[in-house]
Chain A
C-alpha cells in the first residue's frame, strides 16, 4: 500500500496548480459574466500537453498516467469547474474513444489534433428524450450507398456550440437496443448538422453546452468508429473513466470552497474572537475536511484500479457519486460560514454552490449511480 504521489506526479500537481491560478483564473470573471467559453484555452492546454496527459507519447500524448490527468482536472476545477468539466469531456468522452478503437487514419484526423487543442471534440450522447437510458437512443444511422445517413438530435452536448467534431452515439439497429448502438465521427461543418446555441444554466457559467440537430446528415463509411453495434461498450468504457475524473473535479471545487471558508473562519471576528473558535463553525470545517479527504481517497483509488487494469466500474461510480454529493455539501457549508457575504456575488461561494449541483447530474445522476452500484452489489 502506498498513498503517496510519485515525484513526477507531485511536480505535475505543482505545475498545474500554478498554471491554473496564474493563467486560467484570468478567465473566470468574464466566463461568469458572458457565459462564453474561451476556446483559446484548448490551444493553451494542448501546447502544454495537458489534453493528452495519459495517452502514450507515440500516439501524440504526453505519456504520463491517468492519476496525473485526475490531478490536472482537480487543480483546474479548483479555479474553474467550467473549464475543468468541458476540458475533461473533450478529452475523455470526445477524444479517448478515437484513441481506443479508432483506425490510424481516424486517430490522425481527430485524436491527434484534439489532444493538441487544434480541434475541439463534443460527445453526442444525451438526447431530448433520452438521458440515463442510453440503450433507447433515438438518433439513427441508416446504411446507404457509400456511407450512413444520420437523423436525430442531441441535447446538453458540452462544447457543442463551438465543437469541430462530434463523437456521436447513434443506433444502427433500434430493435437490438444497446447492441444496436454505434459511434460515428461527425464533422460539425457537415451539411445537415446544426449546432444549437449555448443553453442558459444555473451554474458552470462559460462551460458551454448546446443541442445538436442532425438532419439527414450523410457521413462516409470511414466515419464509423470501431465496430458496428459495439458503441454501447465503448461508451461505457469512456463513461467509467470520465466518472473518476469528474470525481476529481468535484474534489477540486470542494477544496476551493473549503480553503475560502477556512481562511474566513480565521479572520472574521464576532463576539470578540475569530468565528472559527466557535464549535458551530469549527465542526462544520472539520466535517468538510473529512469529506474532502474521503472523496479524494475514493477518486484516486479508482484511478489506481484503472491504471492497474483491474475492474473499476463500481469504484468509479461510487467515487463520482460521493464526490459530487460531497461537493454540494461542502459548498453549502462554506457559503453558510460566510453568512451574508457568502450570498453575494462579491465572493465566489455562490458560484461554487451553483457549480457543485451539476456534478450530481451529468454523466450519471446520483440516482443512476446508485442503481449501478446496487447492480454491482448483486441487488
Chain B
C-alpha cells in the first residue's frame, strides 16, 4: 500500500492572528505553525494502513520552505518521506490540486488522503479538484475507511446530515478525512530522532510541469471588526424599545 498524504502548514488555531497593515497577508512573525489538524488525522490513517499492510506513507506539502518543519513533524509521526512543492505566493485550491495530480502521476500511489478542510482558508476543495484532474473516484468527509483484502477498493463511511452514508470507491482514489476517523498519535522521542534522516525532496512547480498561475488571487485580508461597547439602559421599557427600534430584533 503506497499512500500519499497531505501535510499542510497552517497557523496554530489557538494563536491570535494579526492581519498585516497593508492587508496582504497575516503577520507570520512570532506566529506558531502546526500541521493542519485534519491532515494529522489523514497521516494517522495512512500510518495505520501501512502498519497493517506494509508499504509506504509519503507526505506532501505545497507552500514556502518553512513547511519543511511540518513535514519533519509528520515524518516523526512515522511517515517515510516527504515532498515539498515550493511556492512562495498564495496557492489557491486549484493550484494545489494540480500539484497533487503531478505528484500522483510520478509516484503512482494506491491512495491519496488529506483533511477535508484546513483551518486557515477553510476552502475544502483540494481533494475534490485533485480527483477531478486525475479522473479518480473520490470520497469526502470520511469517518471510517475499510479497505478490502486485496486493496482494490475501499468502503468509506461519510458523516452526512442526520446519519451516515457508506460509499464504495475503486482504488486508487482520493479520500478526504473527518475528525472522527481516528485520534492522531504523538511523535515518540526515537521517531523524532529518526525523522531528521528521512528524505524530503524539494520539487519546484515548473519541475513538476505545473503552471504557476493561481485562479484565485488573494486581494486583501481584513481583521474582524471590533465589537462596539454596549450601552446601559434605564429600564425594561427602554430595553424593549432599543431591541425593537435600534437592534430591530423583536
Q: How many whole Å from B76's CB to the nearest CB in chain A? A: 7
Q: Which of A11-19, A274-282, A301-309, A349-357 contacts B (4 or more CB under 8 A)?
A: A11-19
Q: A11 to B186, Cβ gap below 8 A?
A: no
- Given that A7-B196, A8-B196, A11-B195 are contacting pairs, would A63 and B190 also be in contact in the complex, using a CB cutoff of 8 Å? yes
The contact string, 1 if C-beta is below 8 Å from chain B, for chain A 211-237, is 000000000000000000000000000
Do A57 and B190 contact each other (CB < 8 Å), given the known contacts A7-B196, A11-B195?
A: yes
Chain A interface, number of residues (Cβ within 8 angstroms): 20
Bits for A42-86, please: 1 = Cβ < 8 Å to B, else 0: 000001111011000100001110001000000000000000000
How many of B's residues come within 8 Å of A, CB to CB? 14
Q: When the two chains form their complex, are residues A48 and B73 in contact, meaning their CB atoms are under 8 A apart?
A: no
For the complex formed, measure the closest distance between the CB of B126 and the CB atoms of chain A, giving whole angstroms.
25
How far is it, in angstroms, between the C-alpha of A11 and the C-alpha of B186 when the chains are bound?
Answer: 12
Q: How many A-B residue pairs have CB under 8 A?
A: 46
A52 contact set on B, CB distance < 8 A: 189
Judge whether A63 and B193 touch: CB under 8 Å: yes
> Chain B residue with minimal CB distance to A17?
B32
Chain A residues lying within 8 Å of B190, measured Cβ to Cβ, are 49, 57, 62-63
Give the residue name and chain of the A residue nearest to B68 (CB).
A7
For B194, give the chain A residue with the smallest CB separation. Answer: A63
| B interface majority secondary structure | helix
Contacts of B186 in A (CB 8 A): 15, 18-19, 23, 48
Contact A15 B193 (CB under 8 A): no
Q: A7-B196, A8-B196, A11-B195 are in contact. Are A62 and B189 (CB under 8 A)?
A: yes
* A interface residues with partner B (beta carbon < 8 Å): 7-8, 11-12, 14-15, 18-19, 23, 47-50, 52-53, 57, 62-64, 68
Chain B interface (Cβ within 8 Å of chain A)?
A: 69, 72-73, 76, 186-193, 195-196
18 A-B pairs besides A12-B192, A15-B187 with CB distance below 8 A are A7-B72, A11-B73, A11-B76, A11-B192, A12-B189, A15-B76, A15-B186, A48-B187, A48-B188, A49-B188, A49-B189, A49-B191, A50-B189, A53-B189, A62-B188, A62-B189, A63-B190, A64-B189
Q: List 29 A-B contacts (CB under 8 A).
A: A7-B72, A8-B192, A8-B193, A11-B69, A11-B72, A11-B76, A11-B187, A11-B195, A15-B76, A15-B186, A15-B187, A18-B186, A19-B186, A23-B186, A47-B188, A48-B188, A49-B188, A49-B189, A49-B191, A50-B189, A53-B189, A62-B188, A62-B189, A62-B190, A62-B193, A63-B190, A63-B193, A64-B192, A68-B189
